[in-house]
Amino acid sequence: MARPQYKTPSALTFHSQAFTIFWSSFSVISASTNLYAVIGDPVAHSLSPVMQNWFIEQFHLNAVYTAFRVKGAKLQMCINGMRAMGIKGLNVTVPHKEAIRSFVDEQSEEVRVLGAANTLKNQAGVISAYVTDPYGFIESLGENRARFRGASVLLYGAGGAAKSVSYALSRLGVDQLLISDLVSQKAIELAERAQKLYGLKNASALVKGFAPMKEIIKHTHIVINATAVGMFPLEDKSVVDNYDVVGTKHFFYDLVYNPAQTKFLRLAEERGAATQNGLDMLIYQGLESLRIWTGQDLSLLPSQLNELKKLMRNQLGVHE
């Protein structure tokens, strides 16, 4: 039987719908190479492999990052496999962020408080769970972080992303948090959670009987969208329906990063407000995962951050 002919490693390419990686350093992968991955269902859309392999290259780490589709019924098997194969770290995405807690050995304080995890570390077979989203939000703010101390914040959404943002807001020293959600009971529950667990004493849900939203925005400093409004197929929608009172004192933050400028941000910017999308948050929460896995104090130069953002926008086909 003839021996099969293979291309040289440097010529190998991997193609997917999301990205193309040229394995120029394929020859250095060995038994000592650390394996990291993201698990979820579905997972094909994830940008984590693009981002984490870029980090690995930039920081000259002996590691590789991939993606595994894992069904909910297979989570215990997945964790057993993580131990058995010595997989050093996993990111966890929907729909497993809450369920995964039942299969780990240790949980960080943030995981216990938020009830969800997005990062697992394997240290000598002990699996520890962390959540990096609050850190990603805070770090993404940069110089805008100063806006939050003593500020009044209006938060749209009461799901998992809103929980992480609320927790981060408690660390930023905001004075007041107002929560709006299509399901009033969810907003009420998050406000109660923010008070009891996050330490935000002045947190309230916007329910029937509150002042009109226009008046609330008028007396608010920061407006945050933690919903899917603005993403496909809702690109022509905004959670804010009246921008008449929006001005230069306001800061609008949208966790959505595709498109780069949602209607929520565009209309606020037209009124003079400062704005920011969620791409930096995605990057910094991912970098924090890598810090946890490696134990190294990894940081990005401004030029590196800009390079990575350009790469990720290209992968997404994001329009400005």
What is the domain-level CATH number for residue 300?
3.40.50.10860
**Do 158 and 264 belong together in one domain?**
yes
**Do 126 and 145 belong together in one domain?**
no
Within-domain flag for 3: no
Within-domain flag for 191: yes
**Do 191 and 91 belong together in one domain?**
no
Within-domain flag for 23: yes
Within-domain flag for 270: yes
Q: What is the pTM of this model?
A: 0.89
**Do 95 and 165 belong together in one domain?**
no
pLDDT tens, residue order, the chain (320 aa): 444 443 333 333 333 433 444 444 444 789 999 999 999 999 998 999 999 999 999 999 999 999 999 999 999 999 999 999 999 999 999 999 999 999 999 999 999 999 999 999 999 999 999 999 999 999 999 999 999 999 999 999 999 999 999 999 999 999 999 999 999 999 999 999 999 999 999 999 998 767 789 999 999 999 999 999 999 899 999 999 999 999 999 999 999 999 999 999 999 999 999 999 999 999 999 999 999 999 999 999 999 999 999 999 998 886 55
**Do 207 and 261 belong together in one domain?**
yes
Known catalytic residues are 97
pLDDT of the residue at 209: 65
pLDDT of the residue at 94: 93
**Do 73 and 171 belong together in one domain?**
no
**Do 213 and 288 belong together in one domain?**
no
How many angstroms separate the CA atoms of 194 and 156, rounded?
Answer: 14
pLDDT of the residue at 208: 75
Within-domain flag for 1: no
**Do 34 and 84 belong together in one domain?**
yes
Within-domain flag for 127: yes
**Do 174 and 239 belong together in one domain?**
yes
Among 253, 72, 75, which Cα is nearest to 174's? 253
pLDDT of the residue at 39: 98
Q: For 59-76, b where at least 16 C-beta lie within 10 A, e where not — what string?
A: bebebbbebeebeeebbe
Within-domain flag for 4: no
**Do 61 and 161 belong together in one domain?**
no
E strands along the chain, which residues? 13-15, 20-22, 34-40, 63-69, 89-92, 106-107, 119-123, 126-130, 152-156, 176-180, 203-205, 222-225, 251-254, 274-276
Within-domain flag for 288: yes
Q: Which domain holds residue 258?
A: 135-277
Longest dimension (CA), the chain: 80
CATH of the domain at 225: 3.40.50.720
**Do 65 and 190 belong together in one domain?**
no
**Do 154 and 92 belong together in one domain?**
no
Task: Report the number of distinct structural domains present in the chain.
Answer: 2
